[in-house]
Amino acid sequence: MEDGWDVAFAVLRMWFSAVVALIMFPAMFGVSLGITEVYMKVLVKTLEWATLRIQRGRGEQQRLKASPSNGIIQRGDGSMEQEIGDLRRCRPKPPVGGDFTLSDVFYFNRKGIESIVEDQVTQRFSSEELVSWNLLTRTNNDFQYISLRLTILWGLGVAIRYCLLAPLRITLAAIGLSWLVIGTSVVGLLPSSRAKNWLSELVHLMCYRICARGLSATIHYHNKENRPKKGGICVANHTSPIDVVILANDGCYAMVGQVHGGLMGVIQRSMVRSCPHIWFERSEMKDRHLVTQRLKDHVADKTKLPILIFPEGTCINNTSVMMFKKGSFEIGGTIYPVAIKYDPQFGDAFWNSAKYSMVSYLLRMMTSWAIVCNVWYLPPMEQEEGEDAVQFANRVKSAIAHQGGLVDLSWDGGLKRGKVKETLKEEQQKMYSNMVVGDDSSD
């Protein structure tokens, strides 16, 4: 029995030694030994072969249409006024005192059916459909049995992901988070000084890099000359909690968020000891003026790290950018937009919080092939004269959507859990009311 325990401890010691020597230490200093690069090349070749095999098995060279929509509804780009004007084109002259015609009903009837069959919001909170199968059977419903060789390859992939990659990644994540708690707690004991700030940034950077290796993350940063500077506000589209890890691999940020309990609370309390992160109590989050003032005080100090904010307020499936809350743009200061685009071929980074818990989501990430993404730093933007916070937010959102190749939507991401606000319904009613009582521009 003792011999068995000795062998187990020996194997465990060898495992940790290999992880520390080959992955952890290189990650801490931003060095790559080329293992990830070789792994990604083999993975790409394997997925290319699987795709060709699937196409051959179908007997046709056909690929699924890459689209955030399932293609059931073909939507027009015209406004309400244009589309109703087309319906009214052949109608008789309206009676005095109004411009309503019965044909207007068909416009609202069609819009209602379109929303029931395929609305523009719900589909943003489900995993993006892939162009070709990635051997994960998670985000592609088109796959069916093709061949024995493909099935064997899928089974081999399951064994590799769950028996080799998952234990390795869980080990790295545990090391990274433990080091983050211990390192920031120790640095927090030091008196405030430039040395403390430097050590805090170093600890944060090292820990996030270890966690990124725990996800087999391959990150391509573009336009680094536009990276957020101290005293600024970094805003980015939001797909997943790991967005923080992705961005913090290339620089340190002050985080903004609500105070949590449990493990997350332990991490938050240790982080704030060494770095001026901004954590709010639930009661404070309801007081918008208090939140805004704390953020303004942080931005006013040009020695503090840039604030990282996700103005959408919820995770979107990385096909679109939804409405930015205006609060982040009322603070003042320079806005540094960042666009993040994940490659779903290697793993689905989207967190559907209504379907998966945080632990379940992280396990899915750690049993995926890899996390591959591009990060674009956009030129800094400032509020223009005569521009209000909503207009400024929309301008920044459009820039992020354009750079990331995402659909720019005006819908509130809060519709993921709530109902449409009455004000949005009233806007549509006012638009139609103005058409009825106003002049008919189509005449």
**pLDDT tens for each residue of 300-322:** 888 888 999 999 888 888 888 98
pLDDT at residue 161 greater than cutoff 80: yes
- DSSP string of 248-270? HTSS--EEEEE---HHHHHHHHH
pLDDT at 442: 44
> Which among 204, 70, 93 has a CA at the least distance from the CA of 140?
70
Residue 329 DSSP code: G
> Which among 279, 340, 342 has a CA at the least distance from the CA of 310?
340
Instruction: List C-alpha distances in Å: 96 to 19, 93, 99, 430.
Output: 82, 9, 8, 20
pLDDT at 284: 60
d(CA 157, CA 149): 12
pLDDT at 237: 93
- Which of 154-158, 189-193, 353-357, 374-378 shows the lowest mean pLDDT across its residues? 353-357
| Higher pLDDT pick, 93 / 342 | 342
Length of the chain: 443
d(CA 224, CA 217): 18
pLDDT at residue 89 greater than cutoff 70: no
Percent of the chain with pLDDT over 70: 70
- Write out pLDDT tens, residues 392-405: 999 999 999 999 99
d(CA 27, CA 208): 9
Q: Which amino acid is at 317?
A: N
- For residues 174 and 154, is the Cβ–Cβ distance under 8 A? no
- The pTM (predicted TM-score) of the whole model is 0.77
pLDDT at 61: 41
| Range 208-237 average pLDDT | 89
Task: Tell me what the pLDDT averaged over the chain comes to.
Answer: 78
- Write out pLDDT tens, residues 246-263: 999 888 898 887 777 777
- Which of 141-150, 319-328, 331-340, 362-371 shows the lowest mean pLDDT across its residues? 141-150
pLDDT at 415: 66
pLDDT at residue 328 greater than cutoff 70: yes
| Range 211-229 average pLDDT | 89
pLDDT at residue 339 greater than cutoff 90: yes
- Write out pLDDT tens, residues 362-394: 888 888 898 999 999 999 999 888 888 889 999
| Range 422-427 average pLDDT | 71
Instruction: State CA 63 to chain mean position distance.
Output: 26
Which residues have C-beta within 8 Å of that of residue 231, sequence separation ≥ 6? 299, 300, 301, 302, 303, 304, 306, 333, 334
pLDDT at residue 78 greater than cutoff 70: no
> Which among 385, 436, 360 has a CA at the least distance from the CA of 84?
436
| Higher pLDDT pick, 289 / 196 | 196
| Higher pLDDT pick, 328 / 18 | 328
Tell me the pLDDT band of 67, cut-offs 50, 70 and 90. very low
- Which of 56-60, 127-131, 233-237, 281-285 shows the lowest mean pLDDT across its residues? 56-60
pLDDT at 236: 93
pLDDT at 377: 96
Q: Residue 166, Cβ neighbours under 10 Å: how many? A: 15
- For residues 116 and 73, is the Cβ–Cβ distance under 8 A? no
pLDDT at 171: 86
pLDDT at residue 170 greater than cutoff 70: yes
